Amino acid sequence: MRIARVAVPGLEHPVFGVIDGERIDLIVGSPFIDADLNYSGVVLNLSDVRLLAPVLPSKIVCVGKNYADHAAEMGGEVPAEPVIFLKPNTTVIGDGDNIVLPTQSSNVHYEAELAVVIGALAKNVDPARADEVIFGYTCANDVTARDLQNSDGQWTRAKSFDTFCPLGPWIETELEPTSLAISTELNDETKQDGNTKDLVRTAREMVAWISQVMTLVPGDVILTGTPAGVGPMVDGDVVSVTIEDIGTLTNPVVSR
């Protein structure tokens, strides 16, 4: 099932809906709060609504260096223990929204990542039971000011500018995440071409591992890491992240 969050002309607030081909079946309330989807009876053409970020997380937890080929291109190895960091939820934008280049950086990179969306309160989750707290999966771009990441000695500023976490275009709730092609296209040129089977720690393992550190709440998002091929984006570029069986997340890049 594909769940989107959309702006509907004439409606004051965003609503969720289930995508069925070129149509969207609107639901009442939040799929993260209500156990059963409550269909409103309103079905619209997808072309008549605007896709928004499919979730507004309370926090975004990211895994660093979780593909060996990316760790190598960054001049390092896969760490013995997972390395995680946070992006603030104010980084989130949706499909079609602009990535705004900050004036403080001259080297802003794309990072295509499989994103896990949490569906239940999760604390000390057994890896074998991770699916019980996973709502679904979406595409993410872990936009990074690479120069600031290197100069600051830690990653908070580099990862946290507004618009630095495109998510979408929707959440796929029925997905086997272990072997999916994942790619980045920059102006239609393929820049990253990986597969989630090369994740050092799987999405499920990372959900369990992170839940040993902090409580995850419904709607929280985990970015699982990026494969090799990261590189810069400049004003006027269009960047797309595509994950097999989910879809394509596309964002224009603009100067502030």
Read off the tokens for 215. Answer: 């409580």
Contact predicate 31/6, CB 8 Å: no
For Mg ion, give the closer residue by CB, 95 or 142: 142
Read off the tokens for 209. Answer: 């591992």
Q: How many CB atoms lie within 10 A of CB 38?
A: 12
CB of 224 to Mg ion, least distance (A): 9
List the Cα angle 130/195/108 in 5-degree steps.
100
Q: Which of 226, 242, 250, 251 binds Mg ion (CB under 5 A)?
A: 226
Q: Which residue's CB atom is positioned nearest to Mg ion?
A: 142
Of 104-112, 128-136, 179-187, 227-235, the window that binds Mg ion (rule: CB under 5 A) is 104-112
Would you call 98 helix, strand, or coil by DSSP? coil
- What is the dihedral angle through the alpha carbons of 71, 124, 220, 229, rounded to the nearest 10 degrees? 10
Q: Does 112 bind Mg ion (CB under 5 A)?
A: no
Site for Mg ion in 115-154 (CB under 5 A): 142
Torsion over CA: 206, 207, 212, 216 (sign): positive
Q: How many CB atoms lie within 10 A of CB 163?
A: 21
Q: Does 61 bind Mg ion (CB under 5 A)?
A: no
CB of 113 to Mg ion, least distance (A): 6
CB of 225 to Mg ion, least distance (A): 6
For Mg ion, give the closer residue by CB, 32 or 110: 110
For Mg ion, give the closer residue by CB, 25 or 205: 205
Read off the tokens for 171. Answer: 């959440």
Q: Which of 97, 111, 172, 185 binds Mg ion (CB under 5 A)?
A: 111
Please choose, from the candidates 41, 18, 60, the residue with its C-alpha nearest in 3D space to the C-alpha of residue 167: 60
Enumerate residues 6+ apart whose C-beta is below 8 A from 149.
Answer: 155, 158, 159
CB of 57 to Mg ion, least distance (A): 16
CB of 90 to Mg ion, least distance (A): 18
Of 39-47, 147-155, 220-228, 245-253, the window that binds Mg ion (rule: CB under 5 A) is 220-228
Of 105-113, 148-156, 180-188, 197-205, the window that binds Mg ion (rule: CB under 5 A) is 105-113
> What is the total count of residues that contact Mg ion (CB under 5 A)?
3
Q: Does 240 bind Mg ion (CB under 5 A)?
A: no
What one-letter code names the amino acid at 218? P
Residues that bind Mg ion (CB under 5 A): 111, 142, 226
